[in-house]
Amino acid sequence: MTKRIETVRVPDGDFSLHVWLPEKGSGPGILLIQEIFGVGEYMAAVAADLTSLGYVVAAPDMFWRLERDWSVEHSDTVMAEAGDKISHFDWTKGQDDLEAALDKLRELPEVAGGVGALGFCFGGSLAYMLAARASGKLDAVVSFYGSRVPGELDRAGDITVPIQFHFGGSDPYIPREDVAAVEEALGGRDHVEFHVQEDGGHAFHNRTSPIFHQAEPAARAWALTEDFLARRLPVR
């Protein structure tokens, strides 16, 4: 897996876009959207999983306006620091940055065969928002336990891209009734898939974090993700 860093330029600055290439050097693109700990070990691990499937993966530095290229190891002691980043994050400019990163990914010479987005936690919310504002630029979106999704359901009608949602039924940060509200608002549409791992807590897929990772729900959800991507964003 080859990695490099591209630069995304926006009207008031620029930021890093971490790019990983599959073994054959080209393929469909996936915009990988970080969780609250930045573009670090976990995002690199997910990128490795995706490049092994044949995708070109790009992860933007979403906290660049607060602190460039910030990332930390996952532990109880850094939760407050990560939470502080979220509390100061500009969601309007952040969505602009994310769409700029998507445009940059689409322009990469190695990207061929479509482009999708996949986000976790903080990034799961942003993936949903990106799907609502830029469906025409995307071929598939996967959103893992985005805590802001239940509060943004008025945007559901703007989503025309195929999208897959994952939630944990035992997530202390996203009440089960909020998960049900998302399912009610978006369920029954041909382009929407909705999966709840009832035994999953928050961030259950994060295998680099002992405080969050749950192997069985993670494996089930990732198998569903791979199947969805194979159907909606196939590698030729």
State the Cα–Cα distance between residues 169 and 218, nearest whole angstrom: 13
For residue 192, is pLDDT > 70? Answer: yes
- How far is it, in rounded angstroms, from Cα 114 to Cα 217? 28
CA distance linking residue 21 with residue 173, whole number of Å? 34
- pLDDT, position 69: 95
Q: Assess whether pLDDT exceeds 80 at residue 221.
A: yes
For 55, 113, 116, 207, 220, the CA distances from 232, given in Å and listed in that order, are 13, 11, 9, 25, 18
pLDDT digits (tens, 9 = 90+) for 3-27: 999 999 999 999 999 999 999 999 9
The predicted pLDDT at position 75 comes to: 66
User: Regarding predicted confidence, which is higher, 212 or 49?
Assistant: 49
Q: How far is residue 168's CA from residue 218's CA, in Å, rounded to a whole number? A: 10
State what percent of residues in the chain have pLDDT above 90. Answer: 88
53's tokens? 């499937």
What mean pLDDT is reported for the chain? Answer: 95
Which residues have C-beta within 8 Å of that of residue 193, sequence separation ≥ 6? 162, 163, 164, 165, 224, 228
| Residue 167 scores a pLDDT above 70 | yes
Percentage of the residues of the chain whose pLDDT score is greater than 70: 98
Which pLDDT score, from 0 to 100, does residue 156 have? 95
Name residue 111's beta-bridge partners: 27
Both structure tokens of 99:
């769409």
- What is the phi/psi pair of residue 214, to 5°? -130, 110
Poorest-pLDDT segment among 28-37, 77-86, 137-146: 77-86
pTM (global) more than 0.95 = yes
Give 76 or 42, the one with higher predicted confidence. 42
Per-residue model confidence (pLDDT) at position 199 = 95
Per-residue pLDDT reduced to its tens digit, 43-97 = 999 999 999 999 999 999 999 999 999 988 766 667 778 788 899 999 999 999 9
pLDDT at residue 84, rounded to an integer? 85
Identify the residue whose tokens are 């306006």: 65
2-232, what's its fold?
Rossmann fold (3.40.50)
Which two structure tokens, joined as six digits, stand for 26?
A: 């080209």
More confident of the two residues 223 and 75: 223
